[in-house]
Each structure stands twice: as structure tokens, then as C-alpha cells.
Amino acid sequence: QVQLVESGGGLVQPGGSLRLSCAASGFTTFSSYAMSWYRQAPGKERELVAAMGSLPSITNYQDSVKGRFTISRDNAKNTVYLQMNSLKPEDTAVYYCNARYLTLSIKRDYWGQGTRVTVSS
């Protein structure tokens, strides 16, 4: 029932921009989930890129993307975004959307299928 679908990936030149979208469906209370973006480059481990809490909606970023990437959410549309500016070749990876609901007694974790971002000249 619960599904996350990423989109917006593609090929872009260094210095360019992309906006990734993550459409969520099947969530009764989407606003209660913390959302985040991860990425995994070929031959490397998956790493957290950006995260946004549910309440309060505090954001956190990987040091390498601070000042370049912005995570945001539109709860009315059940969608999370990752605006990526000043892209570098090292940003090349498959980007995954994650939704997490965590309390002292409940843990729920969902992942999207990923969208590929390639930064190359």
C-alpha cells in the first residue's frame, strides 16, 4: 500500500541544477514521517544526503552538499523534493527517497526505487 516513487534524475553538466521529486502514496499521515534523501555511487556505500524531520521540521545535510542542496516537502501534495544546484561530478549516484516514522514503540521505514543522477561534461 505504501509507495515512494522518485523522479527527476538525469544527465546534467557540472555546475547545472536538477530537482528530484519523491511522490508518496498510501500514507495516512504523511506529515508525521521524517523524510530524507540518500545516494549511492558505483562501488561505494549508501550515504545520507539530506534529511527533514516531521515535527519539528529540522533539516540536516551532508557536509559535501551544504549550500548547494535543499530538501523541502509539500505535505498537501505528499511530495518531498531535493533541489540540487552547482552540481559536481562527485554527485553522480543513484538517489533514494526514504520515509521514516519513529517513536519509542513504533518504527516504520520505507524506500523508493531510486533515480539516477549523472553529472558529466
Is pLDDT above 80 for 60? yes
Judged against a pLDDT cut of 90, whether residue 16 lies above it is answered with yes
Q: Is 8 left (phi over 0), alpha (psi -120 to 50) or beta?
A: left
Which pLDDT value is given to residue 52?
A: 95
Three-state DSSP at 33 gives coil
Mean pLDDT within 7-31: 96
Cis preceding-peptide flag for 56 (omega within 30 of 0): yes
Q: Looking at residue 55, what is its pLDDT? A: 72
**Is the Cα dihedral 89, 90, 95, 100 positive or negative?**
negative
Positive or negative, the CA dihedral 97, 100, 66, 40 is negative
Average pLDDT over residues 36-41: 98
φ/ψ of residue 58, rounded to 5: -85, 140
Joined together, the cell numbers standing for residue 46 give 549508501
